[in-house]
């Protein structure tokens, strides 16, 4: 059984003030050994339509090589990750001041040669269609450094709300923003809300940087996970379900 992290009153205040919270050492070395093993099991699972979703990308270090970018829709097909999402509900509920329900989840693999992510707010990806507030929990699986593309987050600007849907942040939006680099070690967690601007650089190092993300909303707002994945499948399905003559563009 995984450890259930608990947040202090000061951590809850820090999250409310900054829009994110870095919780060091929330999971033990034993917990992380299990989570790392689950990642390996996930990659070894056959890529089949109707199961977990695998997204691929071209390597920036070797354009002839395809690497896994991320895997989504995991919990229905892996008991370990299902347990992880259940464990993470407790500290997330502390921040929401009520029970949390899972909205989506993924592993970002970021192998050597993986691209970064442009500055954005998570809700810019159409999440406001379902409800207005979410908290994502990042679980650091491998050490994340500046060299391999750790996450960078802007404190305080979450209070400005949603800038615009389906568009990354513009230079005008980012005027006055300071992106704080957040290196993490295995077992660290970062909680951040759907309005907190964040980004990451490409991984041009030789070390993999796997991060697991579970996103929750207030239970009182409804359970949207099934609808979210059904909608996403129509517009940006996993590679195995794509039509050969259709172009798919990742927008946010």
pLDDT tens digit string along 229-243?
999 999 999 999 999
Cα 31 to Cα 25, 38, 92: the distances in Å are 11, 11, 18
- Look at domain 9-241 and name its CATH class: mainly beta
Cross-strand partners of 211: 108, 140
pLDDT recorded at residue 32? 98
Average per-residue pLDDT in the chain?
97
pLDDT tens digit string along 171-218?
999 999 999 999 999 999 999 999 999 999 999 999 999 999 999 999
Confidence of residue 40 (pLDDT cuts 50, 70, 90): very high
**Token pair 């990042």 in the structure block, residue:** 138
pLDDT over 70 percentage in the chain: 100
| 110 CB-contact burial (10 Å; exposed 0-12 / middle 13-18 / buried 19+) | buried
Cross-strand partners of 128: none
pLDDT tens digit string along 56-78?
999 999 989 999 999 999 999 99
SS (HEC) of the chain: CCCCCCCCHHHHHHHHHHCEEEECCCCCHHHHHHHHHHHHHHHHCCCCCCCCEEEEEECCCCCCCEEEEEEECCHHHCHHHHHHHHHHHHHHHHHHCCCEEEEEEEEECCCCCCCCEEEECHHHHCHHHCCCCEEEEEEECCCECCCCCCEEECCCHHHHCCCCCCCCCCCCCCCCCCCEECCECCCCEEEEECCCCEEECCCCCCCCCCEEEEEEEEHHHCCCHHHHHHHHHHHCCCHHHCCCCCCCCCCC
Confidence of residue 2 (pLDDT cuts 50, 70, 90): very high
pLDDT recorded at residue 43? 98
Confidence of residue 169 (pLDDT cuts 50, 70, 90): very high
pLDDT recorded at residue 136? 98
Confidence of residue 161 (pLDDT cuts 50, 70, 90): very high
CB 138 within 8 A of CB 211: yes
Domain parsing of the chain, residue ranges: 9-241
pLDDT tens digit string along 126-159?
999 999 999 999 999 999 999 999 999 999 999 9
pLDDT over 90 percentage in the chain: 98
Q: Is the pTM of this model over 0.95?
A: yes
Closest by CA to 142, choosing from 218, 33, 21, is 33
């Amino acid at each position: 059984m995984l450890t259930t992290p608990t947040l202090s009153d000061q951590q809850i205040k820090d999250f409310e003030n900054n829009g994110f919270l870095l919780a060091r050492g929330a999971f033990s070395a034993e917990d992380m050994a299990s989570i790392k093993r689950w990642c390996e099991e996930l990659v070894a699972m056959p890529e089949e339509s109707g199961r977990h979703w695998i997204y691929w990308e071209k390597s920036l270090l070797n354009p002839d090589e395809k690497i896994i970018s991320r895997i989504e829709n995991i919990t229905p097909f892996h008991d370990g990750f299902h347990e992880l999402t259940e464990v993470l509900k407790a500290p997330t509920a502390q921040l929401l001041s009520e029970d949390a329900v899972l909205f989506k989840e993924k592993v970002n693999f970021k192998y050597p040669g993986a691209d970064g992510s442009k500055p954005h707010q998570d809700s810019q990806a159409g999440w406001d269609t379902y409800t207005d507030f979410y908290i994502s929990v990042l679980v650091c699986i491998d050490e994340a450094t500046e060299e391999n593309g750790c996450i960078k987050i802007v404190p305080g600007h979450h209070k400005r709300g949603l800038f615009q849907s389906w568009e990354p942040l513009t230079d005008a939006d980012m005027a006055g923003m300071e992106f704080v680099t957040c290196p993490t070690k295995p077992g660290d967690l970062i909680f951040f809300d759907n309005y907190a601007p964040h980004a990451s650089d490409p991984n041009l190092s030789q070390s993999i940087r796997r991060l697991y993300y579970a996103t929750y909303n207030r239970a009182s707002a409804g359970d949207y996970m099934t609808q979210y994945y059904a909608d996403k499948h129509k517009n940006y399905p996993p590679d195995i379900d794509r039509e050969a003559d259709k172009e798919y563009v990742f927008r946010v």
